[in-house]
Amino acid sequence: MALKPESKPPSGDPLEVCGGLSETVHEYCTRLARAQLRERAASIASLAAPADVAERQGRIRATILASIGGLPEERTPLEARITGTLVREGYRVEKLVFQSQPANYVTANVYVPAGGRGPYPAVLAAMGHYEEGKAFEEGQRLFINLARRGFVVLAYDPPDEGERKEYYDAATGTLLVSSCPEAHTMSGLQCLLTGRNMAYYEVWDGIRAVDYLSGRPDVDGSRIGVIGNSGGGTQTSYLAVLEPRLAAAAPCCYITSWETLWVALGPQDAEQNFPNFLRDGLDFPDFPIAFAPKPFTVLAATRDFFPIAGTRASMEEVRRVYSLLGAGERAGYFEHDDTHSWSKPRREATYAWMERWLQGCSHSEPEPDTAIEPIEALNCTPTGQVLTSFDATTVQRRNAAAADGIHARRAAASPEGAAQMPALVARRLRMSPPTGLPRVEDRGGFDRPGCRVERRVLETEPGIRIPILVFVPAGGAARKPALVAVRQAGKAEGSAPGGLYEQLAGRGSVVVAADLRGLGECRTRRPLVVYSDVYDPDMRAILVGKTIAGMQAFDLLSVFAYAVGRPDVDAQRVGVIGKGTAGLIALFAAAIEPRIARVLVAGTFLSYRDIVGARLHQGIMDAVIPGVLLDFDLPDIAQFIGRSRFVIANPILPDGSPAAPGHAAKIYGPEVRILTGPNAEFSGCADWGKGM
């Protein structure tokens, strides 16, 4: 997992200070991941007896359950109904709709054998990231042939797929979000804010599908298996951990190892990244380990983007654990030399595995040619979408309701919790405030009208070097007021000739403009990033038990300590200004550091409740802190630091559009100064030197 520093030669731009020599967020997280994986390997090697395995299984289940935010306490009525039936040679397809929770409609196809005598064994089929959901071609071939071999198969649409497109616009008949992975991320980021994960909703749908199967008179509830490809392999693995009624499992094209995935594909969809997963000592093999000694086979492709080397290494671990339990033959493995898919060889391996363990058959026939149905023929709803067929809810709405439910119980709601705001913020950001002063490197400077611009590099912690530009007014008092400025777009945005920082220096304030890690010069530069160069480092951070916001707050507090320690700065008159998501970092820093005299946030979201309440959002990734709403929201911090010390300029809504001043005032109260317009940021801090 060793990576070369992502450096580049100096550009000659006077606003660029580091020259790309700082360790990136990716490299920082890689160091942590490497250490955490080594520690886990030692823990696995120490397993020597069934009792050791049992202890680890309990810890895996508890950790995964906590990672997704628990599960609903009540199994509400399924209200299951068959909306139509297709009769075909050797099987029939029942079109099923059930409610995993009230108004959460799950669409499914139940493939039922035409011959033989029930009760039959059953197979739950979880879908991968396929826009057509349960109707995708490879899946249909598999489900049909399982039914012809004597299995009842329940194939269901997960959120944002098939008939459950949650960002479907009924007025235009189009999708507001272009693909199911993007849709999962859209709602999945909101889920993290409430302490949940997108997997919370997917797993519960699967558990309720098992409830349905177990209640059918033609199903033997003691012989239910689970299968799935790609994202369906993800769900299969999760259900193997959390649903004890399952008797056999066969995930396809998913199981690998984080050691290999980290340097290949990297973090994937929202439901596939659990906060603290690596920090908690978990890896892909822990899913089958938790299922042991029940039959679990891994189906792999040698040319998958889930690295085959990781799959093979993980299976060595799994086989060893199964052998400790005297169940080595129940740890199966099949690979074929092709690419990521539920291809015919892996489908045939699925038949063989389920026949062996759920039917007691030792040989499986090859898959014959199979005619499949058009997507529309398998639809269970009148319109082809639950949102236009029923008064249906969505993951976003359910998560927003969860946020409303926990608001009154958040830690900051009590006087005792509110008084502990610095500790609440630091804990939730997964950070400890810096101690002492950062090491400073002098990189020279240049003159501007009315000020001198100093170029400096601060080492906030080993390997992390933060570039800053210090705008020092010409003349004035020996000790001047100061502003520490951070921006989501990087320090260059306000540092241009005649720009904001030069103007503020002209008013007598020292301005320290910094690029926190992940921003500006310190932004991660990776040539191969599946999602985005913002999503990728943020997800890596939460996997290793960190947050980007926590790292940036640590850097900002270090920059503040540097500013306060300058001989030309009045330590009692130092404020912080932040724009975009960096405005939130400024607010977090003020909650932790009482010496920050004032805070101005510009172009920033008003609250996390606003974010979870929005159907669509953009640009929130760096602001995502898992479980933040369990402890506090942004207005709680404003209350703690004192609303008179807090200024809001040009607030925005989660979709990036301007927020009305009245909306901001409703959230924060009339004591908070709210400014709008092109000069709002300058107006908000131009007079700070006199007022601080």
> What's the pLDDT tens digit per position in 312-346?
999 999 999 999 999 999 999 999 999 999 999 99
pLDDT at 527: 53
CB 440 within 8 A of CB 456: yes
Average pLDDT over residues 259-282: 95
Give the phi and the psi of residue 117 in degrees, each rounded to 5: -135, 125
Tell whether the model's pLDDT for residue 15 goes beyond 60. Answer: yes
Count other Cβ atoms within 10 Å, centred on residue 311.
Answer: 25
Q: Reduce the secondary structure of 207-257 to three states and give it as a string.
A: HHHHHHHHHCCCEEEEEEEEEEECHHHHHHHHHHHHCCCCCEEEEECCCCC
How would you label 270-290 residue by residue, b for 16+ Cβ within 10 Å and e otherwise? Answer: bbbbbbbbbbbbbbbbbbbbb
Contact by Cβ (8 Å): 554, 461: yes
Per-residue confidence (pLDDT) for residue 493, from 0 to 100: 94
- Nearest CA to 47 out of 426, 312, 432, 317 is that of 317
pLDDT at position 690: 60
DSSP string, 59-117: HHHHHHHHHTT---S-------EEEEEEEETTEEEEEEEEEEETTEEEEEEEEEESSS-
The mean pLDDT of the chain is: 94
Per-residue pLDDT, 686: 82
To the nearest whole percent, how much of the chain has pLDDT over 70? 96
Least confident of 10-24, 134-148, 606-620, 655-669: 10-24
Which pTM does this prediction carry? Answer: 0.95
Stretch 202-210: mean pLDDT, rounded?
Answer: 98
Token pair belonging to 132: 């057509």
Report phi then psi at 579, rounded to 5.
Answer: -120, 145
For the segment 485-501, the average pLDDT, to the nearest whole number, is 95
Give the model confidence (pLDDT) of 369-393 as tens digits: 999 999 999 999 999 999 999 999 9
Residue 165 has pLDDT above 90, yes or no: yes
Share of residues in the chain with pLDDT > 90 (%): 88
* Crossing angle between the packed helical segments 395-407 and 198-215, to the nearest 10 degrees: 110
| pLDDT: which is higher, 17 or 464 | 464
Q: What is the pLDDT averaged over residues 123-142?
A: 97
Nearest to 596 by CA among 573, 620, 579: 573
Q: pLDDT-derived band of residue 653, with 50, 70 and 90 as boundaries?
A: very high
* Cβ-contact 34, 1 below 8 angstroms: yes
* Nearest to 127, CA basis, from 180, 88, 186: 180
More confident residue, 239 or 644: 239
pLDDT greater at residue 165 or residue 670: 165
Residues 550 and 518 sit within 8 Å (Cβ to Cβ): no
What architecture is domain 68-405? 3-Layer(aba) Sandwich (3.40)
Residue 520 has pLDDT above 70, yes or no: yes
State which fold the 408-691 domain adopts. Rossmann fold (3.40.50)
Q: Taking the CA atoms of 648, 653, 659 and 663 in sequence, report the sign of the dihedral they define.
A: negative
Kindly report the CA angle at 450 between 448 and 456, in degrees rounded to 5? 50
- For residue 299, the surrounding DSSP H or E stretch is strand 296-301
**Using one digit for the tens of pLDDT, what is the confidence trace for 433-456?**
999 899 999 999 999 999 999 999
Tokens of 12: 């000659």
State the pLDDT confidence band at 523, using cuts at 50, 70 and 90.
confident
Q: Write down the domain spans for the chain.
A: 68-405, 408-691
How far apart are the C-alpha atoms of 343 and 49, rounded to whole Å? 38
Could you say which DSSP state residue 359 is in?
I
Selection from 248, 232, 252 nearest residue 156 by Cα: 232
Tens of pLDDT, residue by residue over 537-590, are 999 999 999 999 999 999 999 999 999 999 999 999 999 999 999 999 999 999
Report the pLDDT value the prediction gives residue 327, as an integer from 0 to 100.
98
pLDDT at residue 14, as a whole number: 77
The pLDDT tens digits for 589-640 are 999 999 999 999 999 999 999 999 999 999 999 999 999 999 999 999 999 9
Question: What pLDDT sits at residue 9?
Answer: 42
**What is the distance between the terminal CA atoms of the chain, rounded to a whole angstrom?**
49
Three-state SS string over 586-600 comes to HHHHHHHCCCCCCEE
